[in-house]
Amino acid sequence: MKISNYLYIFIIALLCSTTAMAQMGELRSELAIGVNGGVNMSKVDFSPRIKLQNQSGMSMGITARYMCEKYFKMMCGIQAELNYSQRGWNELIEDGSENTYNRVMNYVEVPLLAHLAFGKDSRTQGMKFFVNLGPQFSYFISEKENMGGGEWNPNYRPNGIIHQYGKMVENKFDYGIAVGGGLELSTPVGHFLVEGRYYYGLADFYHNTKKDEFGRSGHSYIGIRLAYLYDLIK
């Protein structure tokens, strides 16, 4: 069984257990919306392997969160986002040419996350620790290659892998697993959140049949997010 199948089974089990707890816990109905922004440190999982450094990019969007129940000291809900996100890769070229190469790839992302919070149960004051986990779906919108370091000559790369240069995205739809954790400060004027998030892509943006150059070309990144949410329904 592929790792993606195990991850999907785990997420379904988590969502089912959350639903079961909702039937035993204290029901509530709290809706908050707001904005988020941050930075991604991304790489691409290539096969054959390409030596890479982190590629930095921005992320920003809107967030909606619905808290539906409390089970003992755990508050449970669902969080959805619509984000503009930059990913890509930055190659570590060590052939003496002083060439540099990075690619910026722009996506629209829709994470659908189970939101579990622990801490003071107050809408207007106090601190909580939270965990987010769920699937994320993305659609590619644009990309830009950046080549530098004098005369560009990739023919003497130590690993001989040069097919990525000039090769544009072939599969625009991306999906994977997002997991994050952070702190939330609730105040009378809204909720302020800081989160660290990891994304692992299960799709490839290049074709990956036996006749293609790459067997794997999937995104991954670590992101830092800041968000502000305002209560619409308390």
What is the span of the domain harbouring residue 140? 3-110+118-233
Sign of CA dihedral 33, 137, 37, 7: positive
pTM (predicted TM-score): 0.87
Q: Which two tokens stand for residue 127?
A: 């601190």
pLDDT at 24: 57
Can you give the CATH number for the domain in which 76 is found? 2.40.160.20
What is the per-residue pLDDT across 29-82, written as a single tens digit (0 to 9) for each?
A: 899 999 999 999 999 999 999 999 999 999 999 999 999 887 777 899 999 999
pLDDT at 17: 54
- Considering only residues 150 and 15, tell me which one the structure prediction assigns the higher pLDDT: 150
What is the per-residue pLDDT across 184-213, written as a single tens digit (0 to 9) for each?
A: 999 999 999 999 999 999 999 999 999 999
CA distance linking residue 77 with residue 65, whole number of Å: 7
Report residue 114: phi and psi, to 5°: -75, 130
What's the structural domain count of the chain?
1
pLDDT at 215 over 80: yes
